[in-house]
Copies of this chain bind each other. A is one copy, B any other.
Amino acid sequence: MKWCRFQHDGQATYGLIEGDTVVAVSGSPFDVWTRSPQTYPLHSVKLLVPVIPPTFYAAGVNYREHVTAIAKKRGVEPQFPPFADVGYRANNALVAQDEAIVIPQDATDLVQYEGELVVVIGKKCHKVSEDQVLDYVLGYTIGNDVSERTWQRNDRTLWRGKNTDTFKPMGPWIITGLEPDDLHVTIRLNNRVVSEYNVKDALFSVRHFLSRMSQYLTLYPGDVLWMGTDGDTENMKDGDVVEVEINDIGVLRNPVVRER
């Protein structure tokens, strides 16, 4: 199934995408829901961020080449995390498909994309084994973990570096029934492929992260886990368009604008 959230009569409504049609749904995929008789052509609806998470988790550094590339730029030895210690991002920064990534006036030029798989939790999950934990996942979507590298490096926390308004594009929709280890991420800047990698090359898998997290905390319906990115990253500038594609999910596309 292909779940979306869209603007309808000024209200956020969940919908099922079937071909080029959106079937409006009463309720949500995280609770009880029923198909309504209302349908809309997909191209006519304004897609919203597919879920506003109660808690917004991020794996952070979770791929070997990404860690190595960043270490090289800083002239230090790469340090791989010894355990799957999850971090956080913030809802204020979320934007949807086609919405602009806005670079603040006082940001440096080092504003970069990070294309990532996003896991969306479907059911309350506590102390669940790696074998069973994917049963608690509703589906998968795409995220772009936009980062201002000087703030990321120098601030005490990631608040500006990662969570400035518009720095967390997520969407366009949630696909159910996928095997995360079969997925492949391709990142394009102005139609040029700048990075691609296999999800299964992660230091810690979706199964491992979720199961380990669930030993100490309860995952709730709608929580999201961003899985981290691989490879090197480049600067984005005013007028650019950045796309993150994942096979069997789709393309998350966002224009870039610099605040004047």
Contact = CB atoms under 8 A, between A and B. Distances in A.
A41 interface: no
Contacts of A219: 92
Nearest to A85: B156
A81 B219 CA distance: 32
Given A52-B54, A54-B52, A157-B60, A217 B90 contact: yes
Contacts of A156: 60, 81, 83, 85, 87
The binding surface of chain A is classed by DSSP as: loop
A54 B83 CA distance: 28
A148 B250 CA distance: 41
A73 B81 CA distance: 26
B60 A165 contact: no
A22 interface: no
A105 to B, nearest CB: 10
Interface in A192-229: 213, 216-220, 223
A163 to B, nearest CB: 6
B88 A216 contact: no
A164 B88 CA distance: 14
Given A85-B156, A88-B159, A93-B217, 4 more contacts: A60-B156, A88-B157, A92-B217, A92-B219
Interface of A: 52, 54-55, 60, 81, 83, 85-88, 90-93, 104, 126, 155-157, 159-160, 163-165, 213, 216-220, 223
29 contacts: A52-B54, A54-B91, A55-B90, A55-B92, A60-B156, A60-B157, A83-B156, A85-B155, A85-B156, A85-B157, A86-B157, A87-B157, A88-B90, A88-B157, A88-B159, A90-B217, A92-B218, A92-B219, A92-B220, A92-B223, A93-B217, A104-B216, A126-B165, A159-B216, A159-B217, A163-B217, A164-B216, A164-B217, A165-B217
